[in-house]
């Protein structure tokens, strides 16, 4: 299923990555291969190492061993901002917006890695600068419109309601024009209709931007209806992978979530 | 009223206020917009002042070329010092960065104090070309007021254009959450060094203005108190607000000036001490320090975000949203 031999097709691949903090092995021998345009779920009990995987993939942590490749290029020597420039974007589990900046400005920061106008032309407000700022403004507003935030553009991001803050995180990540989007619990704290709404949105976004999505989520109906396949982590170890239907009746997964059945 | 005395009195204060405005505006870039808490701005100021002094004194010819060259030379020297301090210090955050920058500026002050070429504690005297080439004393002040206002305007325009650009957004993003900014493609080292170097360069420009105007620089002009006063001006005005910084700098600069102008030799009862013969009187201008601390305590308690709190003054007839591109 996952390990297709068509290496050229893989967008993001991580092989046997391992990370420990002191004596605790947070992630061990984690392998994932993401193909273009697929949605993959990453689930597991609390503390299973899911967010650590995201931090490893985005370059925030460097793995102790293993390899990570984005579009066939190793990202290990790159700092997180370079990884983003190569086409990897993420959102955060605990919302981390730039709270003293407006909604629009938050999205505009996402265009940072593609800024063309240098310092000098920005200081003298040259034509190149003006042209680029107008283009960014247009594109940022377009993203806000897509996520239904256009009427909130000039609010401070901290004044947005929770659900909209989550959407703003996605808009900001999309602004980096990613090929792969990592979503850390995008539906956390949302009710049924909101998460259904978000699911439609993600499908639409994937089509429109030709995205590959890897998402962490605890909300099972949400994950099961959205993803093509799932990876299950427990204590840093990948205990199962497969389609939602396979995972749902996998004994190892049930044990990880619910504990062993008493004989 | 003697017009010449009036011009030299107010001229002096306007020029010195412009020096302080250049300092606080550039410090506001570092502390307010980028959130890097620097306590060492007086060090950049000193480097600029001494670089300008040395250029004016030693540049062959001692003419106008030396004078004009001293301004870019001061900016360059401070910018280089900014990189030297910045590269090791910017790995630090918060209080640690504040202590490290303070340490650097104090080391620098001690080096100057012990350097014979830089005149040790007595400082350097700088030939004052403008003063010696104008016939009337008031013209000296007019020239320097024009120069000082030009420097403040230049600082304001450059920093404003920087902040209202993509680079400015990156800088503000670093202040709000540097890890997330990095994930969104902001090169942290590049922008932190950029902010430090730009702030330092303008502090150096303020130093050049100060050195050339004052004709004398001593290490004590750039002591810790000067650094703290700058930080207080920025914090009082509101971190990350040009309007606030300007307002607070003008307010804090002119309050003691006005106190000693309008209440000269006015004594007020301060405390009761029988050993000193009952009620002790002090001059009003001596109470400035007390007033200053009380003001600061009130601001921290009532309005911790400062006078403007990161917002800018906008003319009432200009609609929000059309003001700027970014």
Express each pLDDT in A245-254 by its tens digit: 888 888 888 8
B186 to chain A, closest Cα gap in Å? 6
Percent of chain B at pLDDT above 70?
A: 96
**Given the DSSP bridges, would you call strands A212-216 and A39-43 parallel, antiparallel or unpaired?**
parallel
Give the tokens for residue B185.
Answer: 């493609």
Instruction: Considering only the beta carbons, identify the residue of A110, A122, A123 that sits closest to B184.
Output: A110
Task: Assign A8 a pLDDT band (cuts: 50, 70, 90).
Answer: low
pLDDT digits (tens, 9 = 90+) for A173-191: 999 999 999 999 988 888 8
**Do A102 and A134 form a contact (C-beta atoms < 8 A)?**
no
Minimum distance, in Å, between the CA of residue A111 and any CA atom of chain B: 8
- Decide if pLDDT at B83 tops 70: yes
pLDDT band at B322 (very low <50, low <70, confident <90, very high): very low
| Angle at B20 (CA atoms; ends B15, B24), nearest 5 degrees | 150
Q: How confident is the model at residue A4 (pLDDT cuts 50, 70, 90)?
A: very low
* Mean pLDDT of the region B197-211: 95
DSSP conformation letters of B266-290: -EEEEEEEGGGTEEEEEEGGGGHHH
What is the mean pLDDT of the segment spanning B50-74? 88
Q: How near does any CA of chain A get to the CA of B33, in Å?
A: 11
Tell me the pLDDT band of B95, cut-offs 50, 70 and 90. Answer: confident
Nearest to A226 by CA among A238, A241, A243, A239: A243
Q: Which residues contact B173 (CB under 8 A, 6 or more apart)?
A: A98, A101, A109, A112, B180, B181, B184, B186
Tell me whether B321 touches chain A (CB under 8 Å): yes
Confidence of residue A2 (pLDDT cuts 50, 70, 90): very low
Q: Could you tell me the pLDDT band of residue B326, with boundaries at 50, 70 and 90?
A: very low
Contacts of A110 in chain B (CB under 8 A): 184-185
In three-state form (DSSP H/G/I as H, E/B as E, the rest C), the secondary structure along B38-55 is CCCHHHHHHHHHHHHHHH
- Residue B187 Cα, gap to closest chain A Cα (Å): 6
Contacts of A179 in chain B (CB under 8 A): none
Stretch (H or E) spanning B64:
helix B64-89
Residue B91: Cβ-neighbour burial (10 angstroms; 0-12, 13-18, 19+):
exposed
Which pLDDT band, with edges at 50, 70 and 90, does A5 fall under? very low
Q: What count of other Cβ atoms lies within 10 Å of the Cβ of residue B5?
A: 11
Mean pLDDT of chain A: 88
Chain B residue with Cα closest to A58: B183
pLDDT at res. B320: 55
Given an 8 Å threshold on Cβ–Cβ distance, is B166 in contact with A79?
no
Q: Which residue of A has its CA nearest to B194?
A: A119
Does the distance separating the beta carbons of B179 and A79 come in below 8 Å?
no
Neighbours of B318 (CB within 10 A): 9
d(CA A233, CA A216): 11
How would you list the strands of the sheet with A65-70, edge to edge? Answer: A24-34, A12-21, A65-70, A73-74
Angle at A97 between CA A94 and CA A98, to 5 degrees: 145
Partners of B166 on chain A (C-beta within 8 Å) are 108, 111-112, 115, 117, 122, 132-133, 136
Q: Which residues of chain B does A101 touch, with a Cβ-Cβ cutoff of 8 Å? A: 169, 172-173, 176
Q: What are the angstrom distances between the C-alpha of A195 and each of A67, A157, A190?
A: 34, 21, 6
Which residues from chain A sit within 8 angstroms of residue B158, using beta carbons?
Answer: 123
Of the candidates A89, A92, A122, the beta carbon closest to that of B161 is on A122
> Cβ A100–B176 below 8 Å, yes or no?
yes
Of B150, B209, B154, B156, the residue nearest B29 (C-alpha): B156
Q: Which residue has the higher pLDDT, B79 or A243?
A: B79
pLDDT value, residue A1: 41
Q: Do B161 and A123 touch (CB under 8 A)?
A: yes
- List the domains of chain A with CATH numbers: 7-87+178-258 (3.40.50.300), 100-162 (no CATH)
Determine which of A41-55, A127-141, B194-208, B274-288 has the lowest per-residue pLDDT on average: B274-288
Give B5 to chain A, closest Cα distance, Å. Answer: 40
Per DSSP, what are the bridge partners of residue A30? A17
Nearest chain A CA: its distance from B158 CA (Å): 6
The CATH topology of domain B3-302 is ABC transporter involved in vitamin B12 uptake, BtuC (1.10.3470)
A94–chain B Cβ distance below 8 A for any pair: no
Yes or no, beta carbons of B185 and A100 under 8 Å apart? no
- The CA-atom distances, in angstroms, between B234 and each of A99, B13, B20, B64 are 20, 19, 11, 35
Of the two residues A34 and A117, the one the predictor is more confident about is A34
Domain ranges of chain B: 3-302
User: B194: which chain A residues are within 8 Å (Cβ-Cβ)?
Assistant: 119
Cα–Cα dist A74/A78, whole Å: 8
Chain A residues inside the 8 Å CB shell of B310? 100
Report pLDDT digits (tens) over B268-291: 777 788 887 788 887 777 777 788
Buried/exposed A99-108: b ≥16 CB within 10 Å, e otherwise: ebbbbbbbbb
Contact B182 A79 (CB under 8 A): yes
Signed CA dihedral, B192, B198, B203, B204: sign only: positive
| Alpha-carbon distances, residue A57 vs A32, A82, B270 (angstroms) | 10, 12, 65
Q: How many CB atoms lie within 10 A of CB A220?
A: 14
Instruction: Kindly list the distances between the CA atom of residue B320 and the CA atoms of A102, B311, B317, in Å, as whole numbers in the listed order.
Output: 13, 12, 9
For chain B, list the strands marked E by DSSP.
124-125, 216-217, 267-273, 278-283
| Dihedral sign computed on CA atoms, order B246, B251, B252, B254 | positive
Q: Which of B169, B177, B184 sits opposite A176 (nearest CB)?
A: B184
Residue A102 pLDDT more than 50?
yes
B103–chain A nearest CA distance, Å: 30
Tell me the pLDDT of chain B averaged across its residues: 87
Task: List pLDDT tens digits, range B245-261.
Answer: 999 999 999 988 888 88
Contact: A98, B161; criterion CB under 8 Å: no
CA distance to A30, A214, B77, B189, per residue, from A63 (Å): 10, 19, 41, 22
What is the ipTM, given to two decimal places?
0.87
A148 interfacial to chain B (CB closer than 8 Å): no
Q: Closest approach of chain B CAs to the CA of A255, in angstroms?
A: 35
pLDDT value for A163: 86
Contacts of A117 (CB under 8 A, 6+ apart): A126, A128, A129, A132, B165, B166
Region of poorest pLDDT, from A207-221, B70-84, B276-290: B276-290
Q: Is B305 on the interface with A (CB under 8 A)?
A: no
Q: Answer yes or no: are the C-beta atoms of B217 and B124 closer than 8 Å.
A: yes
Per the CB < 8 A criterion, the answer to whether A238 and A231 are in contact is: yes
The minimal CB distance from A137 to the residues B170, B310, B325 is found for: B325
CA distance A233 to A247: 12
| Selected residue of B32, B161, B162, B166 to mutate for chain A interface (largest A Cβ count, 10 A) | B166
Q: Which residues pair with A181 in a beta bridge?
A: A89, A213
How high is the pLDDT of residue B315? 74
Indicate the SS3 state at residue A204.
helix
Cβ of B109 under 8 Å from any chain A Cβ?
Answer: no
Mean pLDDT value of segment B223-243: 89
Chain B contact for A122 (CB, 8 A cutoff): yes
Cβ <8 Å between A81 and B185: yes
Q: Residues 6 or more apart from B106 whose CB is under 8 A from it?
A: B43, B224
Burial of B121 (0-12, 13-18, 19+ CB in 10 A): exposed
Please state the rounded mean pLDDT for residues A33-57: 90
* Residues of chain B positioned with their CB less than 8 A from the CB of A90: 183
In the predicted model, is pLDDT for residue B319 greater than 70? no
Rounded Cα distance between A136 and A108, Å, is: 7
């Amino acid at each position: 299923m996952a390990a297709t031999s068509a290496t050229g097709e893989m967008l993001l691949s991580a092989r046997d990555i391992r990370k420990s903090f002191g004596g605790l092995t947070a992630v061990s021998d984690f392998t994932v291969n993401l193909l273009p345009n697929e949605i993959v779920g990453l689930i597991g009990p609390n503390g299973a190492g899911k967010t650590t995987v995201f931090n490893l993939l985005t370059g925030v942590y460097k793995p102790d061993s293993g390899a990570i490749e984005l579009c066939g290029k190793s990202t290990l020597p790159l700092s997180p901002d370079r990884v983003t420039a190569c086409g990897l974007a993420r959102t955060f589990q605990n919302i981390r917006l730039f709270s003293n900046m407006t909604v629009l400005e938050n999205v505009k920061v996402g265009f940072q890695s593609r800024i063309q106008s240098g310092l000098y032309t920005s200081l003298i407000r040259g034509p190149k600068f003006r042209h680029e700022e107008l283009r960014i403004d247009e594109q940022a507003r377009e993203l806000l419109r897509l996520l239904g935030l256009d009427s909130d553009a000039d609010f401070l991001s901290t004044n947005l309601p929770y659900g909209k803050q989550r959407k703003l995180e996605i808009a900001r990540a999309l602004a980096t024009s990613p090929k792969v989007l990592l979503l850390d619990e995008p539906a956390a704290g949302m009710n049924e209709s909101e998460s259904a709404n978000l699911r439609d949105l993600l499908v639409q976004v994937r089509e429109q931007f030709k995205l590959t999505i890897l998402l962490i989520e605890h909300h099972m109906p949400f994950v099961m209806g959205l993803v093509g396949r799932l990876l299950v982590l427990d204590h840093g170890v990948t205990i199962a992978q497969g389609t939602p239907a396979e995972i749902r009746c996998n004994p190892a997964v049930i044990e990880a979530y619910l504990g062993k059945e008493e004989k | 009223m003697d017009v010449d005395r009036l011009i030299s009195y107010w001229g002096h204060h306007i020029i010195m206020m412009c020096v302080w405005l250049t300092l606080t505006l550039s410090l506001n870039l570092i502390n307010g917009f980028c959130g890097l808490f620097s306590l060492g701005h007086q060090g950049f100021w000193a480097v600029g002042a001494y670089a300008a002094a040395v250029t004016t004194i030693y540049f062959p010819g001692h003419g106008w070329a030396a004078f004009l060259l001293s301004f870019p030379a001061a900016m360059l020297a401070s910018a280089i010092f900014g990189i030297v301090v910045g590269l090791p210090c910017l790995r630090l955050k918060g209080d640690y960065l504040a202590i490290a920058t303070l340490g650097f500026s104090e080391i620098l002050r001690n080096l100057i104090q012990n350097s014979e070429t830089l005149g040790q504690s007595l400082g350097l005297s700088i030939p004052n070309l403008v003063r010696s080439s104008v016939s009337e004393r008031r013209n000296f002040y007019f020239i320097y007021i024009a120069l000082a206002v030009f420097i403040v305007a230049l600082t304001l325009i450059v920093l404003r254009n920087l902040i209202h650009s993509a680079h400015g957004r990156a800088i503000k993003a670093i202040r709000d959450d540097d890890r997330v900014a990095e994930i969104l493609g902001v090169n942290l080292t590049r922008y932190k060094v950029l902010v430090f170097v730009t702030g330092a360069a303008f502090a150096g420009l303020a130093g050049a203005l100060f050195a050339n105007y004052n004709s004398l620089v001593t290490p004590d002009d750039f002591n810790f108190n000067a650094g703290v006063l700058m930080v207080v001006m920025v914090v009082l005005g509101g971190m990350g607000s040009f309007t606030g910084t300007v307002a607070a700098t003008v307010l804090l600069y002119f309050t003691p000036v006005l106190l000693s102008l309008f209440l000269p030799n006015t004594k007020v009862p301060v405390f009761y001490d029988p050993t000193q013969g009952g009620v002790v009187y002090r001059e009003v201008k001596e109470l400035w320090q007390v007033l200053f601390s009380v003001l600061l305590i009130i601001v921290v308690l009532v309005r911790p975000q400062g006078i403007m709190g990161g917002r800018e003054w906008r003319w009432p007839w200009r609609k929000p949203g059309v003001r700027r591109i970014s």
